[in-house]
Amino acid sequence: MEDTKKIYPVEIGRKYGFIDNQGNICIDAKFDYAEEFQGDLAIVAIGDYYGFINETGEYVVKPEYDEVYEFSEGLATVEVQGKKGYVDAKGNIVIEPKYKEAMDFSEGLAAVQLGYKWGYINKNDEMVIEPEFLDAFDFSEGLALVQSGGKLGYIDKEGKMVIEPQYNCAHGFSQGLASVQIGNDFGYIDKTGKVLINPKYYTANDFSEDLAAVEYKDKYGFIDKNGQMVIKPKYHWADDFYDGFAAVAIEDKYGFINKEGKEVVKVNYDNVGAIGEGLASVEVQGKWGYIDMSGTFVIEPQFQEAGAFENGIAKVQCGKKINYIDKNGQLILK
């Protein structure tokens, strides 16, 4: 698999630059702020103004905006004097900053706020769904959650209300189902609004990798899309599955389980991060380190924060500084 992230932002002195995975400076430290690359572009700042650079350090969006956000479907939201619009990856303003709020593009449409109401525009800045909602969210699987008359419902891309506003709390669709509150409990509906999993949960997460974390009688477990409890509720907290693993907690200790409910990382750590490339970041007595999937420490707890490994590199915090380590625990930037 080809590496997708090869250079990393670091603070050198009081400026930010970028290093490669050998610790070599490949973009000089000249920025007042820098984020990690997402795809081919990274957010940087000069003074109080933000833009984007490519991996050679060239500006593709000049730092002239009060705020910028990550690219989504080829466009990024930018803010100028309290108004938001969109630029493309060449730095061209394709939608003038004129909206009070502007969300990412999702499935070709973006929710924008004019005055107090929300509507949806396309990438030509045509208002394809008129601003009539008190709140509006991203499209997911062809439907978007909107608030109208104090309740939540779902519209299609033509703006037709396909599931009438009737919920006090609801989520977007994921894997064909959406978590909604009916009465005091949560269940799941399909895209016609039909209840497929009866409301009996205190909380109900989105489906991820065919399973959803639910809270039942003060404990978390996981159900499948038929509503069957496939991992019994015995946890005090549970996160969604990602790459076959889910973080869980019993009392104030954390670990990971697989889809069979087996503890692949014992639930006895003060906190856990994410699993990446066979290593999990875990916290013990205020310090973070890394264990393998047998529970053996391969990098002893020593960091204030520790991210997941990707392409053999993980982001860590050493004191007040951000640095990067390899799988031997060696700092990339000496």
**Residue 275 domain flag:** yes
Work out the burial of residue 32: count CB atoms within 10 Å of its CB; fewer than 13 is exposed, 13-18 middle, 19 or more buried.
middle
pLDDT of residue 294: 87
In whole angstroms, give the CA distance from residue 250 to residue 232: 13
In whole angstroms, give the CA distance from residue 220 to residue 232: 8
pLDDT of residue 3: 46
pLDDT at 189 over 70: yes
What's 300's domain CATH number? Answer: 2.40.10
**Residue 298 domain flag:** yes
User: Quick one: three-class SS letters along the chain?
Assistant: CCCCCCEEEEEECCEEEEEECCCCEEEEEEECEECCCECCEEEEEECCEEEEECCCCCEEEEEEECEEEEEECCEEEEEECCEEEEEECCCCEEEEEEECEECCCECCEEEEEECCEEEEECCCCCEEEEEEECEEEEEECCEEEEEECCEEEEECCCCCEEEEEEECCECCCECCEEEEEECCEEEEECCCCCEEEEEEECEECCCECCEEEEEECCEEEEECCCCCEEEEEEECEECCCECCEEEEEECCEEEEEECCCCEEEEEEECEEEEEECCEEEEEECCEEEEEECCCCEEEEEEECEECCCECCEEEEEECCEEEEECCCCCECCC
**Residue 300 domain flag:** yes
pLDDT of residue 4: 47
pLDDT of residue 177: 98
Q: How many domains does the chain have?
A: 1
Say what the alpha-carbon torsion angle 151, 152, 156, 158 is, to the nearest 10 degrees.
40
**Residue 295 domain flag:** yes
In whole angstroms, give the CA distance from residue 113 to residue 116: 7
Contacts with 118 (C-beta within 8 Å, 6 or more apart), sequence order: 101, 111, 112, 131, 132, 133, 134, 135, 136, 146
**Residue 140 domain flag:** no
Q: What percent of the chain has pLDDT over 90?
A: 93
Residue 8: band (very low, low, confident or very high) from pLDDT cuts 50, 70, 90: very high
Residue-wise pLDDT tens digits, 225-260: 999 999 999 999 999 999 999 999 999 999 999 999
pLDDT of residue 6: 81
pLDDT at 282 over 50: yes
pLDDT of residue 72: 97
Q: Taking a C-beta distance cutoff of 8 angstroms, is the pair 327, 279 a contact?
A: yes
pLDDT of residue 2: 42
**Residue 104 domain flag:** no
Across 42-62, average pLDDT: 97
pLDDT at 62 over 80: yes
Residue-wise pLDDT tens digits, 208-221: 999 999 999 999 99
Mean predicted lDDT score pLDDT of the chain:
95
Across 18-44, average pLDDT: 94
**Residue 158 domain flag:** no
pLDDT of residue 7: 93
Across 299-320, average pLDDT: 94
Residue-wise pLDDT tens digits, 117-176: 999 999 999 999 999 999 999 999 999 999 999 999 999 999 999 999 999 999 999 999
Domain of 286?
Answer: 270-326
According to DSSP, the residues that pair with 154 across neighbouring strands are 145, 163
**Residue 231 domain flag:** no
In whole angstroms, give the CA distance from residue 61 to residue 49: 11
pLDDT at 334 over 80: no
Whether the model clears a pTM of 0.75, i.e. scores above it, the answer is yes
- Residue 283 identity (one-letter amino acid): E
Residue 150 token pair: 């104090």
